[in-house]
Chain A
Amino acid sequence: MNIQIKNGRLIDPKNNLDAQQDLFIAAGMIAAIGSAPPGFAAEKVIDAAGLVVAPGLIDLAARLREPGYEYKATLESEMDAAAAGGVTSLACPPDTDPPLDEPGLVEMLKHRAKNLSRAHLYPVGALTTALQGCELTEMAELADAGCVAFSQADAPLTDTRVLLRAMQYAATFGFSVWLRPQDSFLARDGVAHDGEVASRCGLPAIPVCAETIALSTMLALAQETGAKLHVCRISSAAGVEMVRAAKRQGLAVTCDVSQNHVHLSETDIGFFDPNCHLIPPLRSLRDRAALRAGLLDGTIDAICSNHAPVDDDAKQLPFAEAEAGATGLELLLPLLLKWARDEDIPLLPALAKATQQPAKILGLDAGHLSVGAAADICVFDPKAYWKVEPVALKSQGKNTPFTGLEVQGRVRYTLVDGQVVYQSA
């Protein structure tokens, strides 16, 4: 279908474009910007006056819960959530049941996602069999099946020799290794940051050194093996400083942070709010400030939703027993905009954290509005206010620490490969 998006403010970080221009879509691709290509006849015209036309968002961590946890969420429900959130590409971690450790599973997942024809799905394969941290998966086969990187998700990998071998093997093929830094011994039984709130509330704690010790191991192994390392969900000031230093030394390392950690801290736990039971734990206000500074200076490349839908029964429990995680796909855009407003950052560099940068980490030709690129587009109203209300979310996971928050920025249209997959009422 030929679509014309007119009167919108085009913002494309990769092409450094921020201007009011029309955009023309034909055959699922961006056919032209500015004036219509010769012979273009629009079958649909989207009037984007007052709206921003941006590349579709790319989320580096969205758990869709399939296979295995369909009672928490399904591909259908979460792909709907992605569309409603303006997310057109997402990477899903391998912590499904069974984990994404064999090509058949990955092919099935990709096939199911393709049939839904909403966001593009990029599975992250398991680094070790069953995520048990002992044996390597068939990474090359998994990559052929569609895996874009390899990860342990939140499962521990305590044997550093296995980690060394896994990174060596991944480096052989040029695959990226995505790791969340956490020493599993130091984090054992912990549910909150080892700070003021855990001290006061008597919650079993996870110290910052659980992050820095694991980070130091993985940075040393990345140096040793030459593997491309992506540090997932950094949470502490000390961790940010280590990544900053590694980047300064020229190490091929990238880094992301969850939107929860950009906006919240341990104090939000309040009177034991289980919605603030998250992985990694929410840390101090000082850590949050360092994460924001890391985003600003480029130490942290991307913001992700760390979408983890949890069913109510698993969440309606005392803090430590409640399952960790929060829904997030539909909040990625408004929380990105909130961060930009809080820090007085223009839209263009802010949007780069969820378009251009994650595309680069994934090695994708996506997240930009170049002529000839796939028409993955998010059209949003940057001024529209809405209140986060669990029942109104498309995601099957209704738990979020942002419940009741008045946010700004609402998706009006989401297009994937030139098809309108979401349109707000």
Chain B
Amino acid sequence: MKNPQLNNHGELRHLLTTEGLPAGIVRDILDRAATFLDAADGREIKKIPLLHGKAVFNLFFENSTRTRTTFEIAAKRLSADVVNLNIGSSSTNKGETLLDTVDNLCAMHAHMFVVRHAQSGAAHFIARHVAPEVHVINAGDGRHAHPTQALLDMFTIRHYKKEFHNLRVAIVGDVLHSRVARSQIHALTTLGVPEVRVVAPKTLLPAMVGNLGVHVYHDMAQGLKDVDVVLMLRLQNERMTGALLPSAQEYFKYYGLTQEKLALAKPDAIVMHPGPMNRGVEIDSSVADGTHSVILSQVTFGIAVRMAVMSMLAGAK
């Protein structure tokens, strides 16, 4: 099966998932993102004309102000024309089919689609159908993948830890429903992290999560022991209604990240979260705002990483 993300020259044509992405391309993205950050303080992002005259369509079938905004800022910093389309939760109840929507936007000379959709595989589906000159970036499809989030997480880890080959990383929370977790796992293993752990109750883990190359922990104290990086996942409130968890209180007691549990990790461990956070559910405020937290850096780096992805796609043949 041909890798649908790469063109015939082996260059990135779409970014759909971190699974099967060559390590070289991942490193290129991270290196390029670094060039968009000012060397002096690592904060300021310069405006450059790489996507001048190109139209980037933010195609959001599922609401997400936050992710959409970071893509919008990234595209504008690259001088692209940005069009935001919030199509709502489902394409099918609007009359127009998803394919018709895509065809219409291609006819408007879109250059790039940034797609968020509630169904796993939606970005692959759209990538299969777009005109050859159009690029697709997956901004989250169902429970499947959220590659730019995972890449910005890798950028953040590299920024603070320099290397990947000596790290122990724990992903904590609702892995079952998380596209972020799946993308993080593939990115971490691709970059050579020797030990990736997932920590969650059995109701929040996919049946064969071990086959993704992770070690499974149900006890958070054991799962966090001596880790370098803690990747927290967001817990949706609706998990309480589907008989997956009894209550937010019990979840916080056993799987919420507190100072006490964090003390089991390495002294210089960093704490990350893709946002938006549920304080007091998966993470205690004192940890979220504490010295180990690099959560706000993630947001800043996110713009640089999305700029890197967009400019790489635009440069592909």
Binding site for B on A (CB under 8 A): 194-196, 198-205, 207, 270-272, 274, 313, 316-321
Contact = CB atoms under 8 A, between A and B. Distances in A.
B117 interface: yes
Given A272-B121, A317-B92, A202 B212 contact: no
B207 A319 contact: no
B92 A203 contact: no
14 contacts: A198-B206, A199-B208, A201-B144, A202-B120, A202-B141, A202-B179, A202-B182, A205-B206, A270-B1, A272-B120, A319-B119, A319-B120, A320-B120, A320-B121
A313 B97 contact: yes
B4 interface: yes
Contacts of B121: 201, 203, 271-272, 318-320
Given A317-B125, A319-B121, A200 B92 contact: no
B261 interface: no
A200 B19 contact: yes
A321 B207 contact: no
A148 to B, nearest CB: 37
B98 A202 contact: no
A419 to B, nearest CB: 42
Nearest to A195: B208
Task: Report the 4 A-B pairs with minimum CB-CB distance, sorted nearest first.
Answer: A202-B143, A272-B121, A199-B206, A202-B144
B207 A203 contact: no
Nearest to B182: A202
Contact of A202 (B125, B142, B207, B208): B142
A320 B208 contact: no
A318 B117 CA distance: 10
Given A207-B207, A316-B99, 7 more contacts: A196-B211, A199-B211, A202-B145, A272-B125, A319-B121, A320-B120, A321-B92
Interface in B108-142: 117, 119-122, 124-125, 141-142
Interface centre among B117, B141, B144 (most CB of A within 10 A): B144
Nearest to B129: A316
B263 interface: no
Contacts of A194: 207
Contacts of A272: 120-121, 124-125
B9 to A, nearest CB: 20
A209 to B, nearest CB: 11
Contacts of A199: 206-209, 211-212
Contacts of A200: 19, 182, 206, 211-212
Contacts of A203: 120-121, 142-144
Interface centre among A194, A201, A202, A274 (most CB of B within 10 A): A202
Contact of A318 (B1, B19, B122, B209): B122
B207 A198 contact: yes
A271 B4 contact: yes
A270 B125 CA distance: 12
A287 to B, nearest CB: 13
Interface of B: 1, 4, 19, 92, 97-99, 117, 119-122, 124-125, 141-145, 177, 179, 182, 206-209, 211-212
A113 B24 CA distance: 61
B208 A201 contact: no
Nearest to A269: B121
Contacts of A196: 208, 211
Contacts of A204: 143
Contacts of A270: 1
A375 to B, nearest CB: 46
B142 to A, nearest CB: 6
Nearest to B128: A271
Contacts of B177: 202
A199 B143 CA distance: 9
A196 B213 CA distance: 12
Interface centre among B117, B120, B121 (most CB of A within 10 A): B121
A18 to B, nearest CB: 40
Given A196-B208, A202-B120, A272-B124, A320 B142 contact: yes
A204 B206 CA distance: 10
A264 B158 CA distance: 41
Contacts of A271: 1, 4, 121, 124
Contacts of B19: 200
Given A317-B125, A318-B125, A321-B92, A201 B120 contact: yes
Given A201-B144, A317-B125, A195 B119 contact: no
Contacts of B209: 199
Nearest to A284: B208
Nearest to B125: A318
A318 B98 contact: yes
Contact of B207 (A205, A316, A320): A205
A313 B100 CA distance: 11
Contacts of A316: 97-99
Nearest to B207: A194
A201 B186 CA distance: 12
A118 to B, nearest CB: 34
B4 A318 contact: no
A271 B120 CA distance: 10
A317 B98 contact: yes
A196 B212 CA distance: 8
A272 B145 CA distance: 13
B308 to A, nearest CB: 24
A2 to B, nearest CB: 53
Contacts of A317: 92, 97-98, 125
Nearest to A194: B207
A317 B93 CA distance: 13
Contacts of A321: 92, 119
A273 to B, nearest CB: 9
B72 to A, nearest CB: 24
A319 B126 CA distance: 12
A200 B125 CA distance: 17
A195 B145 CA distance: 17
A200 B120 CA distance: 10
A423 to B, nearest CB: 38
B100 to A, nearest CB: 10
Interface centre among A198, A271, A313, A317 (most CB of B within 10 A): A271
A201 B122 CA distance: 11
Given A202-B142, A270-B1, A320-B142, A195 B207 contact: yes
A321 B182 CA distance: 21
A194 B122 CA distance: 20
